[in-house]
Amino acid sequence: MGDAVEALFISTSTEDNTTCSVQDLRTGTDLMRYKGGGCAQHNGLEMIHLNYLFSANSAKPLLHVWPINKQEQMTGIRFVVPGKVNALALTPDGSFLVAGIQENIYLWHMNSGRMLNTLSKHYQAITCLRFTDNGEHFISGGKDGAVLVWDLTFSAAPLDTGSGKDSTEPLYSFNDHGLAVTGLYSGIGGIRSYLYTVSLDRCCKLYDLSGGIMLLSVVFPVALHSVIVNKMETKVYVGSSDGKVFVFNMVNPPRMKEYHVEEEEIQAFVGHTAGKAITCLALNLSATILISGGEDNQVCVWDVNSKQLIKSLPQNGSVTNLRIRLLSPSLFLPEHKQPQLFADSLKRMITPRDEDDYLEILVEQEIGGRKSPELDFTKSYPGTDEDLLIKLASMNTKSNKEEDETESEAEVEEAESAVEEVESAEEEVESAEEEVESEDDKIESDAGVESIADEAESDADEQSSTSKTNGVDVQKLLAENARLKEESKRMFDIIFKYMGSDANMQGLPAGKPKRKKPRQN
Condensed to tens digits (0 to 9), the pLDDT of residues 263-283 reads 777 889 999 999 999 999 999
Residues forming beta bridges with residue 260, ordered by sequence position: 219
Ranked by mean pLDDT, the top range of 198-207, 341-350, 462-471 is 198-207
The per-residue pLDDT for 365 is 57
H or E element in which residue 401 lies: helix 386-447
Cβ partners under 8 Å of residue 259, min gap 6: 216, 217, 218, 219
Q: Tell me if 293 sits within 8 A of 299, measured CB to CB.
A: yes
Among 142-151, 336-345, 419-428, 497-506, which stretch is predicted with the lowest mean pLDDT? 497-506
* Mean pLDDT of the 410-433 span: 64
Q: For all residues of the chain together, what is the average pLDDT?
A: 80
Cα–chain center distance at 41: 36
Measured CA to CA, the distance from residue 278 to residue 317 in angstroms comes to: 13
Structure confidence at residue 371 (pLDDT):
47
Contact yes or no for 278/269 (Cβ under 8 A): no
pLDDT at 362 over 80: no
* Domain layout of the chain by residue ranges: 5-159+168-352, 386-505
Output the CA torsion sign for 77, 80, 86, 90: negative
Q: Is 66 left (phi over 0), alpha (psi -120 to 50) or beta?
A: beta
Of 17-26, 374-383, 396-405, 443-452, which range is least confident? 443-452
pLDDT tens digits along 80-93? 999 999 999 999 99
Q: Could you tell me which residues come within 8 angstroms of residue 69 by beta carbon, excluding any fewer than 6 positions away?
A: 32, 331, 332, 333, 334, 336, 338
Give 248's pLDDT tier (boundaries 50, 70, 90): very high
Report whether 461 contacts 469 (CB < 8 A).
no
33, 18 Cβ separation under 8 angstroms: yes
pLDDT at 266: 84
Residues 6+ away with beta carbon under 8 Å from 27 = none
pLDDT at 103 over 70: yes
Q: Which of 168, 141, 39, 153 is nearest to 87 (CA)?
A: 141
**The CATH number, out of the four listed (3.40.50.150, 2.130.10.10, 3.30.450.40, 2.60.40.10), of the domain defined by the range 5-159+168-352:** 2.130.10.10
Residue count (the chain): 521
Please determine, for residue 455, whether its predicted confidence score (pLDDT) is greater than 80.
no
Can you give the pLDDT at residue 492?
A: 76
Q: If pLDDT is split at 50, 70 and 90, which confidence band does 235 have?
A: very high
Evaluate if residue 510 carries a pLDDT over 60: no
- Band of the pLDDT at 304, cuts 50, 70, 90? very high
Q: Phi, psi at residue 471, to the nearest 5°?
A: 80, 10
Query: What is the spatial distance between Cα 199 and Cα 176, in angstroms, rounded to a whole number?
Result: 10
Query: How far is the C-alpha of 127 from the C-alpha of 85, rounded, in Å?
Result: 10
Q: Are 495 and 415 in contact (CB under 8 A)?
A: yes
What's the whole-number mean pLDDT along residues 294-312? 94
- Of 53-57, 82-86, 154-158, 351-355, least confident by mean pLDDT is 351-355
Q: In the predicted model, is pLDDT for residue 76 greater than 90? A: no
Q: How confident is the model at residue 376 (pLDDT cuts 50, 70, 90)?
A: low
> Higher-confidence residue: 219 or 372?
219
Is residue 465 within 8 A of residue 436, CB to CB? The reply is no
Q: Per residue in 206-238, is it b (16+ CB within 10 Å) or e — as a string?
A: bbebeeeebebbbebeebbbbbbbbeebebbbb
Compute the average pLDDT of residues 58-78.
89
Q: Has this prediction a pTM greater than 0.75?
A: no
